[in-house]
Amino acid sequence: MTPNHSKDLDRRVRLAAFQWLTEQVSIYGDVLPRTILSKGFIFQDQRVPLVAPLGIFKPRILPEYPLSITTTTSGPYDDSFERGDLLLYRYRGTDPYHRDNVALRNAMLHKIPLIYLHGVIPGKYLVEWPVFVIGDDPENLTFTVAVDEHKTIDSYIEPKDVMQDDSDSISDIRRMYITSSVKQRLHQRGFRERVLRAYREQCSFCRLKHLELLDAAHIIPDGGKDGDPVVTNGVALCKLHHAAFDKFMIGIRPDYVIEVRRDILKEKDGPMLVHGLQNMHSHRMILPKNKRAWPDPALLERRYARFRNAGIDSNFSHSFSAQS
Ligand SMILES: [Zn+2]
């Protein structure tokens, strides 16, 4: 294979992979199951998987550069993977000259766009592309990775345009900005997936099991003190109960019993009010099987205190609008 031919093949496979991912994300959303990614797509009668058991992955069809890098997280914030507004990616092993590390370094030198797969829960990955390796730190055995806008892919079709791109410093700032918003999304999506899985994908008030109608609600709002995206600060709720919980129409006592606000209990209206809200009163919420995933009673206590105040405050209804 001549160098030009192999460059061209690399480019076409990569663009086909991006195109295929665009389609998958439009069908399944931005968190894709591993089964789909490891099956991949067909390029000129060859199957091209996008993920393999190890982190730096080059499918057989590609001559030189890796196609994807994968990370799995154990906790809500995997600090080893982040610094500032960029992502850190650990070397394979401790040898900077391991062939996987060398291949990724070459991808950096030639500004090759890659796919980044971030495991949010076992078997499910948030997918980002194009990402670029923009730094290499052999002392700490890490690469620095930045996410870029999809429009970079268009210029990648004509590689000479990539060279004419903005000056390096402007594109670095832009990438840092995009990477930090991606990181935020990583945390949010990870939270949703972990909470819904813990509650066996049902509303913990009414058992509704349609994923399209389920949310992961924060007990202490996101961004506030203790508003961490951890399962013990979350509850799986359907859209109705999430909104009712956020507006303090329904509360959860620290002993996991559901309370409906007094004025709503007294209200007279049709079946939606009766079944959807009033009948929840005094029932115990559905809890995760694993006790360690149960809501933290201390957080529930704080939230419940606000709920009690909401019931007392007659001017309440428009004074709160808790985010979650
Ligand atoms: Zn519900």
What is the full DSSP assignment across 155-218?
HHHSHHHHHTSSPHHHHHHHHHHHHHHHHHHHHHHHHHHHHHHHTTSS-TTT----GGGEEEEE
- Cα(310) to centroid(ligand 1), Å: 21
- Residue 25 is given by DSSP the state H
CA of 229 to the centre of ligand 1 (A): 21
- 167 lies in the same domain as 74: yes
* Same domain, residue pair 96 and 147: yes
Residue 220 is assigned to a structural domain of this protein: yes
On whether both 263 and 240 belong to a single domain, the answer is yes
* Distance from Cα 236 to the centre of ligand 1, integer Å: 9
- Judge if 169 and 209 occupy the same domain: no
Residue 30 is assigned to a structural domain of this protein: yes
215 CA to centre of ligand 1 in angstroms: 10
CA–CA dist 74, 82 (Å, integer) = 14
Say yes or no: 27 and 47 in one domain.
yes
How far does the centroid of ligand 1 lie from the alpha carbon of residue 186, in Å?
Answer: 25
Of 133, 165, 195, which residue is a domain's last? 195
How many whole angstroms from 243 Cα to the centroid of ligand 1? 10
**CA distance linking residue 22 with residue 4, whole number of Å:** 27
pLDDT score for 82: 55
Position 84 scores a pLDDT of 60
Identify the pLDDT of residue 7. 86
Q: How many domains does the chain have?
A: 2
User: Which range marks the domain in which residue 275 is found?
Assistant: 202-318
Last residue of a domain, one of 179, 195, 211: 195
CA 180 – ligand 1 centroid, Å: 33
What's the N-to-C CA distance of the chain in angstroms? 55
Q: For residue 324, is it within any domain? A: no
Q: Are residues 62 and 98 in the same domain?
A: yes
Residues 49 and 152 in one domain: yes
Task: Kindly give the distance from the C-alpha atom of residue 53 to the centroid of ligand 1, in angstroms, as a whole number.
Answer: 38
Q: Are residues 220 and 174 in the same domain?
A: no
H or E, element range at 290: none
Q: Are residues 64 and 119 in the same domain?
A: yes
On whether the CB atoms of residues 129 and 69 are closer than 8 A, the answer is no
Specify whether 190 is located in the same domain as 285: no
* Separation of CA 153 and ligand 1 centre (Å): 42
Q: If DSSP codes are grouped into helix, strand and coil, which group holds residue 122?
A: coil
Distance from Cα 296 to the centre of ligand 1, integer Å: 20
Q: Tell me which residue of 303, 285, 302 sits closest to 294, measured CA to CA.
A: 285
Let me know if residue 304 belongs to a domain. Answer: yes
Residue 75 confidence (pLDDT): 47
Which residue type, as a one-letter code, is found at position 238? C
The answer to whether residue 292 sits within a structural domain is yes
Q: Give the whole-angstrom CA distance, residue 180 versus residue 95.
A: 29
For residue 238, the CA-to-ligand 1 centroid distance in Å is: 4
Ligand 1 midpoint to CA 27 (Å): 25
CB-facing half-sphere around the CA of 274: CA atoms within 13 A: 4
- Report residues near ion ligand 1: CB below 5 Å: 203, 205-206, 208, 238, 241
pLDDT of residue 296: 97
Residue 139 and residue 265 in one domain: no
Task: Specify if 323 maps to a domain.
Answer: no
Question: What's the CA-to-centroid distance between 35 and ligand 1, angstroms?
Answer: 30
pLDDT of residue 247: 94
Distance CA 167, CA 226 (A): 40
Of the residues 174, 195, 216, which one is the last residue of a structural domain?
195
- Note down pLDDT in tens along the chain; length 324 residues: 677 788 889 999 999 999 999 999 988 888 899 999 999 999 999 999 999 877 899 999 998 999 999 987 654 444 345 556 678 888 888 999 999 999 999 999 998 999 999 888 888 898 989 999 989 999 989 998 888 876 666 666 655 544 445 556 666 667 777 777 777 777 777 888 899 999 999 999 999 999 889 999 999 988 777 888 899 999 999 999 999 999 999 999 999 999 999 999 999 999 999 999 999 999 999 999 999 999 999 999 999 999 998 876 544 444 444 444
Q: Are strands 46-48 and 56-57 parallel, antiparallel or unpaired?
A: unpaired
Do 17 and 107 lie in one domain? The reply is yes
- 322 alpha carbon – ligand 1 mean position (Å): 18
Distance 281 CA to ligand 1 centre (A): 13
How many whole angstroms from 275 Cα to the centroid of ligand 1? 10
CA of 1 to the centre of ligand 1 (A): 59
Is residue 269 assigned to a domain? yes
| Distance (Å) from CA 193 to ligand 1 centroid | 17
Rounded CA-CA distance 202/214 in Å is: 7
Give me ligand 1 centre to Cα 253, in Å. Answer: 17
The CA 75 to ligand 1 mean position distance, Å, reads 27
